[in-house]
Every structure is written in C-alpha cells, then in structure tokens.
Amino acid sequence: MAAPIDAEEVLARFEELSVLESEFEDAELELIRKSTALNQPLWNKRAEIVAKIPHFWTLVLEQIPVELETFIQPTDFKLFTECLQTIEVSRFEIDDPKGSPRSFSIKFGFGENEYFFNKELEKKFWYRKSKDWAGLVSEPVKIVWKKGKDLTGGLTDAAYELAQAKKTLAKSSGGKAKAKAEAELPEYKALATKIEENTEGAPSFFTWFGFVSSYKCISPEESEEAEKEERERIEKLKRGEKLDDEEDEEDDEIDYQETEVFPQGDECATLLAEDMWPSALRYYKQAHEADDEDLSEIDVDDMDEDDSDGEIDIRGLVGKGRSNASASPPSKKQRKA
C-alpha cells in the first residue's frame, strides 16, 4: 500500500474527529448551562443555610483533595479561620452570546482582619481562545494589604501594577499593545525580578489573585477572532471542502510566563469552581463524620458563634474527622448516605 494514500486516510480521520470534537464541545456547553440552571437555586439555598454555620467554608477548605490543598499554605488557613465568611462561584457569562459558559468568578467574603482591608475579593476567569490554545485567563485583583502583613511578599501588588501599566499602554497605542512593548515597561521588569527573587517556600494562596494566564493573556477580540476562524474551519470540514494551508503565526519570542506570579492559577481556580464548590456539603460532612461519633456528642461549645474570637481550634475539630476519613477515604464519586 502506497504511503501517500494512507496519509490522506489518516488526514481524513483527523478531519472527521475535528468536526466531532466541536460537536462534543457544543454538548458540553449545553450541559454547563443545564447544570447551572438546575443547581443555582440549590446553591442559593445552601448559601442561606451555611451563613448560619460558623467556619463552614474554612472547614470545607480543610477537606479538599490534595491537588488543591497544595495551593493553600498553613498561614492562609490561619487567615481563613480568622475571617473567611463566604465563598461564591458564578458563571457570569452564561447568558452572554459573546461570552462562554466556561467563564466563572470566585468571590471570597471576609470579616475584619489583621491582613488586608478588602471585605471582598473577587477573581474572574474568562474562557478564551487563541489559534493554538484555549483556557482560562484572568486579571490581577488589588489586595489592600495592611502594613507588614502582605502574605505574597509584594507579588500581588507588582502583578496588579503591571496589569494597569499594560492597560495604559494599550490605550495609548489604540488597541492591544505588542508583547515586546509590554516587556519594556518598568513594571514588567519589576515583577519579573520580584518573581525571580521569590523562590523560597510555597507561595501563599493569595498570590493566586495576581494570576493572569498559564499561556498568555488573550483579549476578548483575539478570542472572538480565533473562535470565528475555528467555526469557519469546522463548517468547511462539514461541507467536505479542503482547508487552506495554515500559516504559522510569527512567534514574538517573549516568555509570557516570566511575569506570571501563580503559574497553575487556572488549575487552582478550576479545582475551586468545579470540585470544592459543587462538593462543599460533602467536604463539610467529611469534617464532621467520625465513625463512632454521634451528632449529639459533638462538643457544641466549639461551634458556638459567640466563641468565635479566633481561639477556636478549627484544625483540631477537623483533624478529628480527617483522621477517621483517611482510614477509608470515600472515593470522589461516592458519597456516604
């Protein structure tokens, strides 16, 4: 059998699979919409109930799987125990025809605390596409740290400042600035240097608020263009037309990750939004379940709201459940009835 024929055969299969893939993607988006519609009233109801449970979200975070837990350091947990009040995930582009049901925001609500002035930190993730990548991008969130209390060693500030400088540059150049021009900003160098210096120990979870992209930042316009091209390509394939040879885009030779303060920020966000958030009740129950522990035997003084002066040993309370759970960990898709 001659090789050229086989090459065409292989190519034909790949083209069929490309079309199929786009159909799978449409089904997936439809399911995210359906899931949000079905669950949103329940998430609202959950928020009402858990607002009456002190430390609910901290207890949940204590039970998350290890892939997510690695992003959260002991000092972060200390902060959560002190003042984390609410977590809320929303699919803010779900009804936006130009947006994506894959985009989401994660909003943390905090009480008065010794670390920062913000009462709320909301991190938004937009699902965007470029010619050869698709994923979540974000913008740095400004955390107003109290003096000497910045858990990120200045990284969130520097990331925020670079983002602002990029915006100013883009405005002045009437569009998105070239990566090369961005790399010449003083804020770029400042952040790159700070990241290079900050190599000791695992970064605080709060550094995640400075995350931009695990690839590069993609503007809504760029994403829309890539989406359009992709749709056209699929339509051509469906009609059995030949595709034009694609030209490789010029590489602008910038290391986009040089100024990324939290390289796996999208992965961390996805775990928060798609594991922690929908499974919060299960994790909370896990914190309380102990083989021989009857609910009535829980030392309720530990959970008394009036007691929440920062001295409650949440880790102790949770650790109890955890040691039992680890003897026979419920697997992800199983639930204890």
Nearer to a copy of itself, 42 or 202 (CB): 42
Q: How many residues bind a copy of itself (CB under 8 A)?
A: 64
User: For residues 128-187, which are near a copy of itself according to CB under 8 A?
Assistant: 129-136
Of 39, 31, 255, 28, give the one whose Cα is nearest residue 134.
28
Closest approach, Cβ 303 to a copy of itself, in A, equals 6
Contact, 227 vs 99, CB < 8 A? Answer: no
Sheet strands side by side (includes 84-90): 84-90, 104-110, 120-130, 133-138
Binding a copy of itself (rule: CB under 8 A), the pick from 306, 316, 326, 327 is 306
Closest approach, Cβ 3 to a copy of itself, in A, equals 5
Q: Per-residue contact track with a copy of itself, 196 to 225, x per CB under 8 A?
A: ------------------x-----------
Which stretch in 77-85, 185-193, 278-286, 319-327 sits in contact with a copy of itself by CB under 8 A? 278-286
Closest approach, Cβ 118 to a copy of itself, in A, equals 27
Closest approach, Cβ 220 to a copy of itself, in A, equals 16
214: which DSSP letter? S
Contact, 284 vs 56, CB < 8 A? Answer: yes
Residue 290 interacts with a copy of itself (CB under 8 A): yes or no: no
* Cβ within 8 Å of residue 115, ≥6 positions away: 79, 83, 145, 146, 149, 151
Helix (H) or strand (E) holding 86: strand 84-90
Helix (H) or strand (E) holding 138: strand 133-138
Residue 332 interacts with a copy of itself (CB under 8 A): yes or no: yes
User: 316 exposed, middle or buried (CB, 10 Å; 0-12, 13-18, 19+)?
Assistant: exposed
Binding a copy of itself (rule: CB under 8 A), the pick from 274, 310, 319, 323 is 274
Helix (H, G, I), strand (E, B) or coil at 136: strand
User: For residues 13-52, which are near a copy of itself according to CB under 8 A?
Assistant: 13-14, 16-17, 20-21, 23-25, 27, 30-31, 34-35, 38-39, 42, 45-46, 49, 52
Distance between CA atoms of residues 147 and 145, nearest Å: 6
Long-range contacts of 47-51 (CB under 8 A, 24+ apart): 47/86, 47/88, 50/280, 50/284, 51/86
Cα distances (Å, whole numbers) of residue 274 to 25, 53, 195, 269: 17, 22, 29, 8
Binding a copy of itself (rule: CB under 8 A), the pick from 68, 109, 230, 320 is 230
Which stretch in 75-83, 173-181, 189-197, 301-309 sits in contact with a copy of itself by CB under 8 A? 301-309
Q: Per-residue contact track with a copy of itself, 63 to 102, x per CB under 8 A?
A: ---------------------------------------x
121: which DSSP letter? E
What is the contact surface with a copy of itself in residues (CB under 8 A)? 1, 3, 6-7, 9-11, 13-14, 16-17, 20-21, 23-25, 27, 30-31, 34-35, 38-39, 42, 45-46, 49, 52-53, 102, 129-136, 214, 226, 230, 264, 266-267, 270, 274, 281, 284-285, 295-296, 298, 300-301, 303-304, 306, 331-337
